Amino acid sequence: MAIRKIVERGDPVLEKVCRPVTEFNGRLHTLLDDMRETLEEASGVGLAAPQVGVLRRVCIVEDSEGEILELINPEIIATGGEQTGLEGCLSIPGRYGIVTRPYKVRVRAQDRDGVTFEVEDEDLTARCFCHEIEHLDGHLYTEHCDHLLSDEEVQKYIEDHPEQFGQDEEEE
């Protein structure tokens, strides 16, 4: 496994539409393993292949249990509800915006061996599904917010919305 370089906003690779994966081979497995290691090193919750310069429909998402979901050729097939909260991206380090997403999202994808499966999740993981899958079509979350927050605005948002930042758990 190897840590790959995460490309940052401004790199044209982040604006391209990725091609579907057709071969579920060792090369794909190496990409997935490298993406896992890269995500872990960056302490993120999701990473899409174009963020490491690979224009293929591949992304990984860490769910609320800490499991890494590998999504190949993923598609959102159902959504429900709505959530509004802070969103960031490893390709836009240190910056956040306020983005509204569905609260619940169901995804159909293939695993690393090409087997089709469906997964449904909510809250932060649902947000992450939307964010990562958009990367595969060359979109960034910044398209959904009017501006990126200043450090002061981020601090104020966290203070005003403690329920979104696991304050209850930290107090235990």
The reply on whether position 59 binds Zn ion by CB under 5 A is no
The reply on whether position 14 binds Zn ion by CB under 5 A is no
Note if 132 is an active site residue. Answer: yes
Nearest to Zn ion of 10, 26 (CB atom): 10
Q: Contact 71/59 with Cβ under 8 angstroms?
A: yes
Q: Contact 50/16 with Cβ under 8 angstroms?
A: yes
DSSP-assigned letters across all residues of 51-89: GGT--BSEEEEE-TTSPEEEEEEEEEEEEES-EEEEEEE
How far is Cα 101 from Cα 103, in angstroms, rounded to an integer? 6
Strand 83-89, strand 116-122: pairing: unpaired
How far is Cα 9 from Cα 89, in angstroms, rounded to an integer? 9
The reply on whether position 124 binds Zn ion by CB under 5 A is no
Task: Please pick, from the candidates 54, 59, 89, 109, the single residue that binds Zn ion as defined by CB under 5 A.
Answer: 89
Draw the binding track, 138-157, toward Zn ion (x: CB under 5 A; -: no contact): --------------------
| Piece in contact with Zn ion (CB under 5 A), picked from 61-69, 87-95, 97-105, 164-172 | 87-95
Nearest to Zn ion of 24, 40 (CB atom): 40
Using CB under 5 A as the binding criterion, the count of chain residues that bind Zn ion stands at: 1
> Shortest Cβ distance from residue 170 to Zn ion (Å)?
26
> Shortest Cβ distance from residue 152 to Zn ion (Å)?
23
Q: Contact 117/33 with Cβ under 8 angstroms?
A: no
Binding site for Zn ion (CB under 5 A): 89
Tell me which residues are annotated as active site: 132
